[in-house]
A and B are shown apart, each in its own frame.
Chain A
Amino acid sequence: MDESSHDVTRLLLEWGAGDPAAAERLMPLVYGELRRLARDYLRRERPDHTLQPTALVNEAFLKLVDQRRGWQNRHHFYGIAAQAMRRVLVDHARARATEKRGGPLQRLSLEDVNVSTGGRAAELVALDEALSGLARVFPRKAQVVELRFFGGLSVDETAAVVGVSDKTVMREWESAKLWLYRELDRGTAGGGAGGRHDGD
């Protein structure tokens, strides 16, 4: 158990006790660990392998959180981890999408984005922006998407983190998908009446 594990455990406890600033301070620690783990995993695996986000998050939990302090509730951690996972992936995608094109992002059609890594990166960045837009109107929807899509959590885990029923999670999820898909679709069509603007 290294130094950071005490910090993380303490911050988690503080955050659990209602200190929102603790979450802000947790983020860089979790972010760093997840990023390291993700790279480590992928170095070991073939490039066509799928990252298992839950495995990563759990490994990060074991590494970062002092297990002797009786911190049994992983759900608090999942929330932070999903956020960190989002940042890890999107930061990386942003860097990559920029580098591939040697310039600012271009929108691609949704059909194209599944073809190349660069396209995926662009899609991920666009999705991240759309998700931020969604959060402004429907914060809970955005949280559900963050937990499920970025954190890889199942419906019931998501429900436990958000503190709602499975049914609500599914309803928020389904409607959020429509919303986000439309945003991306509009983005690719080049127009759009959505509330989100590029470059904010």
Chain B
Amino acid sequence: MTEIERLRRADEVVQAALACGEGEWPALLERECGADERLRAEVESLLGYRERARAFIETPAAAFGAALFAGDDDAEEAAGRAVGPYRIVRELGRGGMGAVYLAERSDGEFEQRVALKVARRSFADADLRRRFRQERQILASLNHPNIARLLDGGVSADGEPYLVMEYVEGERVDDYCEARRLSTRARLRLFLGVCRGVSYAHRHLVVHRDIKPGNILVTPEGVPKLLDFGIAKLLGPAESGEQTLAGMRAFTPDYAAPEQMTAGGHITTATDVYSLGVLLGDLLGGSRRGRGAAGRRRHGTPARTVATNLPTDQDGAGKGRAGARKAADSELDNIVAMARREDPARRYATADELADDVGRYLEGRPVRAQKDSLTYRAGKFVRRNRAGVAAAALAVASLVAGLGVAVWQARAAARERDRAERRFDDVRQLSNALLSDIAPKIERLPGSTHARQSLVGQSLKYLDSLAGESADDRVLQAELASAYEKVGASQGAPERPNLGDYPGAVASYRKAQSIRRRLLELDPADAENRRRLAASYNDLAAVLYWTNDYAGALEAHAEALRLYESLAAERPADLRLRLALAETRLDLGQTHSRNQRYAEAFPHLRAALASLEEAVRAEPGDTEARRLLAKGHTLLAAALSWSEAQAEAEAEMAKAVEAGEALVGQSPNDVILRRGLWFTYLQASSIYEELGDAAKDALSEEYARKALRLVEGTLEKDPADVQARQNLAQSYSKLAVSAANRGKLDESARYVEGALAIFAELERGEPNGLTFKRNIGIGYTRLGIARHKQGDLPRALEAFERSAASFDAIARSDAQNMVSLRDEAQAFKNMARIHEEMARGGAAAAREAHLRAARENYQRALDLLLGLQSRGAFAQVDREFLEEMRDGVRRLR
């Protein structure tokens, strides 16, 4: 045998080995290699790489390519480059809009160091260049000591617009304050300088639009200088309000005024006043910057204790001054709150007025800012809720509002302390009763959505008030964190009846986490708190996953993983902890899989499985461990199948089915175990789907049927189980797919209709429940796909149209529902494709019409995706989707 022949022969043996289980390898090698030791050595050597090569080159090279090419724009390569008459010295920073470089004039005319801001090329459209020229004139005329001057600007030889600004050698204003532990008064004086710059610009009719610490540098002489005046507008969308890609987020969300966050919001000088308010709050909040993001979202909530942890100018002053200081702090709080009012008309009218009030405070004169009065707030509450508030909810609301205000006022006055604390406890008890006793009881009542909504709303309101009251009471803080977690669950925990308010749920979980993080700092050893924090991160991840925010979900899971890992390391004997850790890994794996990142999913899934297998070996009777093991096998099987390792997927799925069936056989009435097995069956049906193999198609259908029978059994036991009814419909949906794959189009359609009927019925019991509407949309999508497969284009089109209509209904009833907007885009994409296909046959006139319709649908999908992107709700995995739609529009133009 020549060497080449031996290599080819070895390859044949390797391929045979890869097709069977590792257990069969010894026999196979014996049979195929016989006495040829060199052949056997070659085969063994190759097979020895199997585990390690699993994820190897599974990610296309272009993924590396991105990093390689991106390096072209690296700072190192930028150095020395000429942009207009300037030569780049080094990179100073880089953001979404482009990069900022330190540069100097290169034509030797005169020596000057400047900050050179180069916009990314995609922004360099003709419109942008035009606006650049216009605005440059105005911006260049701004000349004020607190504003970094715009010196020049133009378009480089490469077509990139650039701006040249005064180079300020300074520190970010917040870092500056922190590093020097500046006193409140010193911070306020610095802030006044910022206000002067803003006010000057406003008089020249220029709005900054993006005031934030990163845009304010303080020079070594202590002079604050605002950078990037008007740049946000320059780089933002055209004034006509048309949506452009370049228009995305030309501001920083935390600092943006409410009107900046909404479409059609009018940007005025009041917008800058708002951002100045946020800035002031942050500067005074000192090192406790973390509270900003969460607290800021509720615009009406004053940042209550902003100034209390800063050093005073009168260090060592007598304790008798404490009361006076508290009153003064509340004045500052009022100033911040007034600048940050939601309604622009109720803020300070100008930056000057804001500065004036800060000046009054510094001089010890009474400030103009007032807290919102109780009557104003009550009136506003009634106005806002006039339509839907039940009388009872209103009664609760006024009770709570009354108590809350009483607490606030009473706490400030020492002589009423006892009474205040009694009331404080009342609020606390009421809060616990509402969340722990009342909310769960009405959770499953059909039609209770409105009641739950106002309950959650009220609870949040005084939770926020309590949170500000009691920063030093650890027990209460822990209670508050739990309460926020419960509210979060009611707002949007997937898999449970929820209000579909996912952004609200995320905010609540984050509040809980920030409280728990603080508790963790106070007592790093508190295992209970760490455990709950980890669980809270997992809950948050579930919401984020549900809303297609995979990056966020992964991040939250990773936090949970870290916490559980350290806890488990401390208590190796704690089985519950190990299971929680394994479940977190399973979730991580599932999220990666859903995001099509199988290479990243596998290590987590395999690690979880290994530890679960060990747990089951140690505690064979532990149902939870066995349940998770079955779930793990299921997820791994699905991921393997998606990464085209079908044989392994099937082996894994067999284990999942066996484990799940054993569990249900043992405890046939356990709803959770039944649901677990149902999930396994459903996934099993999926992995055998669409392999182009009739026997597998039959298996797929069989598993879908098993899923159906199982859930039917669950329903016999408890017909009111809403979750099971939903699962029933999902089983029908799955059967519809497998039936369609087997060519049974009519049967498939019947199943979809069955599913749709159940969803419609569920929907009647839950008029606000968006989940079912979404399922309906998905049902029609499936029907469309099945009909498309059958070549029935007109009826496929009809199904996709219906799916688009249901997603549209969700989007309209819930403006915050980003998932359904994406679903709708997907439906438009499907419609476009069908139209394109329909255009291939047929007469010229019909062809034209289909092509036009295809283009329109691509455009609609594209618009939706761009809209999502501009609202910051765009999953990165959809980049390709978006480009595909763009291509579609371009192709059919």
Q: A residues engaging B (CB < 8 A)?
A: 38-39, 42-56, 58-59, 62, 67, 85-86, 88-89, 92-93, 96, 117, 120-121, 123-124, 127, 137-138, 145, 148-152, 155, 166, 170-171, 174-175, 177-182, 185, 195
List the A side residues contacting B891 at CB < 8 Å: 62, 67
Question: Given A93-B68, A175-B15, list of 15 further CB < 8 A pairs?
Answer: A43-B122, A45-B66, A46-B96, A47-B66, A47-B67, A48-B70, A52-B883, A55-B887, A59-B887, A93-B64, A123-B64, A124-B68, A152-B61, A175-B46, A181-B52
- Please pick, from B61, B68, B121, B692, the residue contacting A86 in the complex, using a CB distance under 8 A: B61
Q: Which residues of A contact B879 (CB under 8 A)?
A: 49, 52
Judge whether B887 and A39 touch: CB under 8 Å.
no
By Cβ-Cβ distance, the 10 closest A-B pairs, closest first, are A47-B70, A51-B62, A181-B53, A152-B60, A53-B62, A44-B122, A42-B69, A51-B66, A178-B46, A89-B65
Given A181-B53, A185-B49; A43-B73 close (CB under 8 Å): yes
Interchain CA distance A149-B44 in the complex, whole Å:
25
Q: Does B391 contact A (CB under 8 A)?
A: no
Q: Which residues of the other chain, A, contact B3 by a CB distance below 8 angstroms?
A: 195
Instruction: Closest B residue to A170 by CB, please name it.
Output: B644
Closest residue of chain B to A42 (Cβ to Cβ) is B69
Asked whether, in the complex, the Cβ of A89 is within 8 Å of the Cβ of B56, the reply is: no
> B11-33: which residues lie under 8 A (CB-CB) from chain A?
11, 14-15, 18-19
Decide: B19 and A171 in contact? CB cutoff 8 A.
yes
Query: Which B residues are in CB contact (< 8 Å) with A123?
Result: 64
B880 within 8 A of A: yes
Contacts of A138 in B (CB 8 A): 7-8, 11
CB contacts (< 8 Å) of A93 on chain B: these are: 64, 68
**What is the minimal beta-carbon distance from B1 to any residue of chain A, in angstroms?**
14
Instruction: Specify which of B4, B49, B65, B122 is in contact with A182 (CB 8 Å cutoff).
Output: B49
Residues of chain A contacted by B47 (CB below 8 angstroms): 178
Which residues in A have their C-beta under 8 angstroms from that of B15? 171, 174-175
Q: In this assembly, does B422 line the interface, its C-beta being within 8 Å of a C-beta of chain A?
A: no
Determine which of B45, B62, B63, B71 lies in contact with A56 in the assembled complex, contact meaning CB atoms within 8 Å.
B62
Q: Which residues of B contact A53 (CB under 8 A)?
A: 60-62
CB of B359, distance to nearest CB on chain A (Å): 43
Interface of chain A: mostly helix, strand, loop or mixed:
helix
The residues of B with any CB-CB pair to A shorter than 8 Å are: 3-4, 7-8, 11, 14-15, 18-19, 45-47, 49-50, 52-53, 56-57, 60-73, 96, 120-122, 644, 692, 876, 879-880, 883-884, 887, 890-891
Contact present for B68 and A148 (CB under 8 Å): no
Closest-CB distance, A73 to chain B (whole angstroms):
14
- Which chain B residue shows the least CB distance to A172? B15
Instruction: Report chain B residues within 8 Å CB of A121.
Output: 64, 68
- A89-B62 contact in complex given A44-B122, A55-B883, A171-B18, C-beta closer than 8 Å: yes
How far apart are the CA atoms of A120 and B53 in the complex, in Å? Answer: 17
CB<8 Å pairs between A and B, sample of 21 = A42-B66, A42-B70, A42-B73, A45-B66, A51-B63, A51-B69, A58-B887, A62-B887, A89-B64, A92-B65, A92-B68, A93-B64, A117-B71, A120-B67, A124-B61, A124-B68, A170-B644, A174-B18, A181-B49, A182-B46, A185-B49
A74 to chain B, nearest CB (A): 13
Q: Are A180 and B61 in contact (CB under 8 A)?
A: no
State how many angstroms separate the Cβ of A32 from the closest Cβ of chain B: 15
B71 touches A175 (CB 8 A): no
Neighbouring A residues of B883 by C-beta, 8 Å? 52, 55
CB distance from B603 to the nearest CB of A (A): 13
Q: Contacting B56 at CB < 8 Å: which of A92, A117, A181?
A: A181
CB <8 Å contact, B121 and A44: yes
Taking CB atoms, residues of chain B closer than 8 Å to A48 are 66, 70
B61 adjacent to A175 (CB under 8 Å)? no
Is there an interface contact between B61 and A38, defined as CB atoms closer than 8 Å? Answer: no
Given A51-B65, A55-B883, A149-B61, decide whether A137 and B4 contact each other with a Cβ distance below 8 A. yes
The distance in angstroms between the C-alpha atoms of A8 and B56, with both chains bound, is 34
Q: A50-B63, A150-B60 given as contacts; is B68 within 8 A of A89 (CB)?
A: yes
> Would A50 and B57 be within 8 Å (CB), given that A89-B68, A138-B11, A175-B15 are in contact?
no
Q: Within the assembled complex, what's the spacing in Å between the Cα atoms of A52 and B876?
A: 12
A121-B644 Cα distance, complex, nearest whole Å: 27
Which A residue's beta carbon lies closest to that of B57?
A149
> CA separation between A55 and B8, bound complex, in Å?
36
Nearest CB of chain B from residue A55's CB, rounded to whole Å: 5
Instruction: Please name the residue on chain B nearest to A59 by beta carbon.
Output: B887
Closest to A97 in B: B68
Interface centre among B68, B644, B890 (most CB of A within 10 A): B68
Q: Decide if A149 touches B68 in the complex (CB within 8 Å).
A: no
Q: Are B62 and A43 in contact (CB under 8 A)?
A: no
